[in-house]
C-alpha cells in the first residue's frame, strides 16, 4: 500500500511540474529523451559559462555568498579511531560529538587509503562518461525506489533546483543489492564498491558500539534496535559540476539526513557546510578523513540524546566537487522509535514510532511526522 502511495504522489507531482503526462520509459520519444538529458546539471553547467538559469538562484536568505560565516572554518571534532589504547577517551569523544555537534570527522579508521582513492576514481569515471551512457542507469520515472542516476530527490518549494546530479545504489546487504544500478563502466566499478562496503563494516560497528555504550546499553544493543544484520548501506554519489555563480547557488539544500548515521567520503574540493549556533560554517576538509553525520533515526532511537545535524553544500567556480555518502538505514518496513529502555514516566517519548518507509514518505513530501 505504502508503495502505491509513493508512486501515485510522485507521478502527480511530476505531472504538475512538467504540465504533461509522464510516459513509461519505453514509450519515450527521442525528443523526450533529449529533454530528460538536458535536465542534468552536468549539461546545464557545460552550457552556463557566465550566468546560471533562474531556477538555480537561491532565495536571498539561502544564498551562500551572504549567509556563510566568512573567514573561518568550523572545526568539527576530529576523532582518531586508533586511540583505542584509551577506549574510554575514544568513546567519550564520539558520544560528546554526537550529542553536541551531530557531525564529526574520523581519521585512522582502518579503511586503506587506496580503497578510498579507487572508490573515488571509479565514481568520477562514471560521471565522466557520455550522457547517454549514464542515462542507462537513470532512476525509472515513478519508481518506488530511490536507486539510480538522477538529478533531484524532490521538487523544492518555489521550484528551485540544486546544482548537483547523483547516483544512488545499495552496497549492503547482498540480498538488498540491485546490480542493475551499478555502473558496468568502468569495469572495476563493482569490485571496488564491494571492497569499500567490506571495509566499512568495521567503522559502522565501532560507531554503533560507541553510541550504544554512550546510552548506557550493552555494546550490541543499538545496532540490534537499528535492524541488526538487515541494516542497509545506501551509497550516493553527489556530482557537483563547476558553477559560474557559487555565491548564488547551492548543491544540496539544507537538510538533516534521514538515516541512523551517514559516513561520507568527500573529494578535496571544499563545499560541506554545517549549521551551528544559528550560522552556516564551512567544514574543514581533512585528507583521508571520513565525515560522520548523525541522522534523524539515531536522534529518534536515542529519544533526542544524540542530535542530527543540519547541513548543506556549496559549489565551486572552477572545480568539480564529488562526495560519496553512505546512509545507514533500516529496511523500509522496519519500525523505529525511541528505545524502550530510554522511555519512562519521567522521560516520555519525544518522537513517534513508525516504519522507516513512512518516515521517508512524510519527510520527502513535507508532511509532519
Closer of 117 and 347 to ligand OGA (Cβ): 117
User: Per DSSP, what are the bridge partners of residue 264?
Assistant: 291, 325
Specify whether 311 is catalytic: yes
Q: x/- string (CB under 5 A) for Ni ion, residues 257-296?
A: x---------------------------------------
313 binds, among Ni ion, ligand OGA, none (CB under 5 to 8 A by kind): ligand OGA
Catalytic residue among 169, 223, 236, 307: 236
Specify whether 201 is catalytic: no
Catalytic residue among 165, 257, 296, 358: 257
Nearest to 84 by CA among 106, 102, 115, 61: 106
Q: Binding to Ni ion by residue 299, rule CB under 5 A?
A: no
- What end-to-end distance do the CA atoms of the chain give, in Å? 18
Nearest to 295 by CA among 236, 241, 340, 240: 236
Compute φ and ψ for 238, nearest 5 degrees. -95, 130
Answer for which of 238, 282, 302, 332 binds ligand OGA (CB under 6 A) is: 238
68 burial (CB, 10 Å; 0-12 / 13-18 / 19+) is middle
Q: Binding to ligand OGA by residue 165, rule CB under 6 A?
A: no
Round to whole Å and give the CA distance between 61 and 260.
29
Report the 10 Å Cβ neighbour count for 267: 17
In three-state secondary structure terms, 5 is helix
Angle formed at CA 197 by CA 194 and CA 199, multiple of 5 degrees = 110
Residues numbered 203 to 262 that lie near Ni ion (CB under 5 A) are: 257
Catalytic residue among 255, 319, 355, 363: 255
Q: Which stretch binds ligand OGA (CB under 6 A): 203-211, 264-272, 297-305, 361-369?
A: 264-272
**CA dist 30 to 19, 63, 129, 134, 237, Å?**
19, 36, 20, 16, 27
305 binds, among Ni ion, ligand OGA, none (CB under 5 to 8 A by kind): none
Q: Binding to ligand OGA by residue 242, rule CB under 6 A?
A: no
Nearest to 275 by CA among 304, 260, 255: 255
Round to whole Å and give the CA distance between 146 and 150.
9
Compute φ and ψ for 130, nearest 5 degrees. -55, 150
Closer of 165 and 257 to Ni ion (Cβ): 257
Q: Binding to ligand OGA by residue 320, rule CB under 6 A?
A: no
Answer for which of 313, 314, 320, 332 binds ligand OGA (CB under 6 A) is: 313
Smallest gap from Cβ 192 to ligand OGA, in A, equals: 19
Closer of 63 and 238 to ligand OGA (Cβ): 238
- 339 grid coordinates: 528505545
Residues numbered 321 to 350 that lie near ligand OGA (CB under 6 A) are: 323, 325
Answer for which of 44, 225, 272, 298 binds ligand OGA (CB under 6 A) is: 272
Maximum alpha-carbon separation in the chain? 63
Round to whole Å and give the CA distance between 155 and 164.
13
Closer of 250 and 272 to ligand OGA (Cβ): 272
Closer of 302 and 323 to ligand OGA (Cβ): 323
Closer of 257 and 296 to Ni ion (Cβ): 257
- 296 grid coordinates: 534523524
Please report, as ranges, the residues that interact with Ni ion according to CB under 5 A.
257
Catalytic residues: 236, 255, 257, 311
Please report, as ranges, the residues that interact with ligand OGA according to CB under 6 A.
236, 238, 252, 257, 264, 266, 272, 311, 313, 323, 325
Amino acid at each position: 500500500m505504502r508503495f502505491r502511495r509513493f508512486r501515485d504522489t510522485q507521478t502527480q507531482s511530476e505531472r504538475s511540474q512538467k504540465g504533461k503526462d509522464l510516459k513509461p520509459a519505453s514509450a519515450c520519444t527521442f525528443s523526450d529523451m533529449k529533454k530528460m538529458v538536458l535536465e542534468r546539471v552536468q549539461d546545464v553547467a557545460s552550457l552556463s559559462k557566465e550566468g546560471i538559469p533562474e531556477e538555480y538562484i537561491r532565495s536571498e536568505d539561502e544564498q551562500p555568498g551572504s549567509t556563510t560565516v566568512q573567514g573561518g572554518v568550523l572545526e568539527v571534532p576530529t576523532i582518531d579511531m586508533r586511540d583505542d589504547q584509551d577506549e574510554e577517551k575514544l568513546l567519550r569523544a564520539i558520544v560528546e560529538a554526537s550529542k553536541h555537534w551531530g557531525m564529526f570527522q574520523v581519521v585512522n579508521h582502518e579503511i586503506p587509503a587506496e580503497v578510498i582513492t579507487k572508490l573515488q576514481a571509479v565514481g568520477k569515471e562514471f560521471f565522466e562518461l557520455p550522457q547517454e551512457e549514464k542515462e542507462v542507469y537513470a532512476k525509472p520515472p515513478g519508481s518506488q525506489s530511490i536507486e539510480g542516476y538522477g538529478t533531484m530527490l524532490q521538487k523544492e518549494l518555489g521550484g528551485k533546483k540544486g546544482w548537483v546530479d547523483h547516483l544512488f545504489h545499495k552496497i549492503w546487504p547482498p540480498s538488498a543489492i540491485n546490480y542493475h544500478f551499478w555502473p558496468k563502466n568502468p569495469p572495476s566499478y563493482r569490485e571496488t564498491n564491494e571492497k569499500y562496503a567490506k571495509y566499512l563494516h568495521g567503522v559502522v560497528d565501532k560507531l554503533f558500539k560507541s553510541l550504544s555504550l554512550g546510552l548506557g546499553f550493552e555494546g550490541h544493543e543499538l545496532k540490534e534496535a537499528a535492524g541488526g544484520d538487515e541494516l542497509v548501506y545506501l551509497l550516493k554519489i553527489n556530482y557537483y559540476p563547476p558553477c559560474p555563480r557559487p555565491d548564488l547557488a547551492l548543491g544540496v539544500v539544507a537538510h538533516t539526513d534521514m538515516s541512523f548515521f551517514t559516513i561520507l567520503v568527500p573529494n578535496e574540493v571544499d563545499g560541506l557546510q554545517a549549521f551551528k549556533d544559528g550560522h552556516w560554517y564551512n567544514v574543514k576538509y581533512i585528507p583521508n578523513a571520513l565525515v560522520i553525520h548523525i541522522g534523524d533515526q539515531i536522534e529518534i532511537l536515542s529519544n533526542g540524546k544524540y542530535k542530527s545535524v543540519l547541513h548543506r553544500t556549496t559549489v565551486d567556480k572552477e572545480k568539480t566537487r564529488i562526495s560519496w555518502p553512505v546512509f545507514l538505514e533500516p529496511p523500509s518496513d522496519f519500525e523505529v522509535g525511541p528505545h524502550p529502555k530510554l522511555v519512562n514516566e519521567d522521560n516520555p517519548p519525544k518522537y513517534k514510532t513508525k516504519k522507516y518507509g513512512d518516515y521517508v514518505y512524510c519527510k520527502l513530501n513535507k508532511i509532519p511526522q
